[in-house]
Structure 1
């Protein structure tokens, strides 16, 4: 049985990944900050799908939390075959309005935690000659939008670059770039989701289904839904100055660009 470790696993895309992978017969390791919610989620998954589910409470915006998950990923006796780096958050407002402590916490979670957990997982995966890592980014990776967008751009670049560098080892990496997904993300960030147009919303289970399918196809980048594929394509063709002005206006109205949880 493949074991999958999912960060940010109690809500949104993390919970959707857990449901899908449990349904496919994977054992799970669920990582999140809230132990009570982890236990509740694990109990429901065990009962519905009959798979083993571990819980690992950890705050990945801290060294202690990252180290706890690194230790689990390096456990050769209980190897993890699929790592889903999903944990993330958004800040309301633009750069300059957000406390620097919050900006640094975002970089710690979106960049350092992803790098360190991917390193710990692939270390063991390469020894075994197989394994996969899915790093959840955002369509914001293609737009110049402050710390959130920059951190997600790093996730995309890192995932695609590392995937190429690990060619031939049996280990694969892929970045997922969804748009607006109906999760707790916006409420936690203090974003008024009623301002976001109805057409922009995606279903978490469909995003996960697309990601799993793209991983099986050998892709290093998954952009779910034709609407957001068009956004990514347009962003590549639009001059950076124009794109920056558009992004700043959108940030002031909606908060972080196309966030997810």
Structure 2
């Protein structure tokens, strides 16, 4: 594994879990999110588990000046970033026709534009060193027609597949991680109390298992990681069924 990882959306959920597991493997971590208090809590937890190299970088990635501070950290040749985890993101209601268009644009920008900018920032240094790992947290929603969230994640999946083929031979791998429903605070941010997401109990995944399986695929240099056998099967099935049927099934859960 690499030596220093920068993780966006590191204050909770999968981002915090990536930080915990990477630090436990001996990596230094740079934690990026909007909330100073939440980041400090994660940093304290990681340091308490024995990690020493923990940086906190407070930034709203949708604010250009704050995003530029993250870019500056990514291009710092004196303290290089060896792994980038693009994890920051959120979901919107599936009723596109009722959603505020400016919120839809912010949603698209965070998932696509911000991820692209951060990859572009870190990539030249990695190529110059001949090594690096880039992880783009996508979703199984990217394999099926499921609102603008699925569309944004489809971009991440395809971009990662191409970039891994393009830059893998030069020592820089790019992996899209595509989990299904994971027990985090993601759905609470959508305003859905636990138990009201409309998702069968057997479809929920645990964050630590998702990240552990994802990091195994990252280490193997895979373009796409779907960290669950049940979701691997669902993705295969979704590719064979008509879009209308897949869309109706996909909208059962939030």
Please report the TM-score for the alignment, with normalisation by the length of structure 1.
0.92
Runs of 4+ in 1 over 6 A off after TM superposition: none
Aligned to 2:232: 229
Equivalent runs, 1:5-84 vs 2, <5 Å: 5-84=6-85
Contact 2:94 2:147 in 1 (8 A): no
Counterparts of 1:28 and 1:169, CA distance in 2? 24
Contact 1:66 1:116 in 2 (8 A): no
Q: Is structure 2 residue 237 aligned with structure 1 residue 242?
A: no
Structure 1 residue 128: Cα displacement: 0.8
5+ residue gaps, structure 2:
none
Contact 1:5 1:84 in 2 (8 A): yes
Equivalent runs, 1:1-261 vs 2, <5 Å: 2-194=3-195, 195-247=198-250, 249-250=251-252, 254-255=253-254
Counterparts of 1:172 and 1:142, CA distance in 2? 21
Over the aligned positions, Cα root-mean-square deviation in angstroms equals: 1.3
Counterparts of 2:157 and 2:50, CA distance in 1? 32
Between 1 and 2, higher relative CO (CA 8 Å, sep ≥ 6) is seen in: 1
Deviations 1:179-205 (A, max 9, x none): 010111001111344132110110100
Aligned to 1:174, the other structure's residue is in SS state strand
Contact 1:26 1:51 in 2 (8 A): no
Contact 1:61 1:106 in 2 (8 A): no
Deviations 1:96-116 (A, max 9, x none): 121111111111100001100
Aligned to 1:56, the other structure's residue is in SS state strand
Aligned to 2:235, the other structure's residue is in SS state helix
Counterparts of 1:132 and 1:85, CA distance in 2? 11
Counterparts of 1:19 and 1:61, CA distance in 2? 25
Counterparts of 1:237 and 1:62, CA distance in 2? 41
Q: Which moved more, 1:144-153 or 1:1-10?
A: 1-10
Please report the TM-score for the alignment, with normalisation by the length of structure 2.
0.95
Counterparts of 1:135 and 1:15, CA distance in 2? 15
Contact 1:10 1:32 in 2 (8 A): yes
Contact 2:12 2:38 in 1 (8 A): no
Counterparts of 2:194 and 2:243, CA distance in 1? 27
Deviations 1:163-218 (A, max 9, x none): 11113211110000000101110011113441321101101000011011111222
5+ residue gaps, structure 1:
256-261
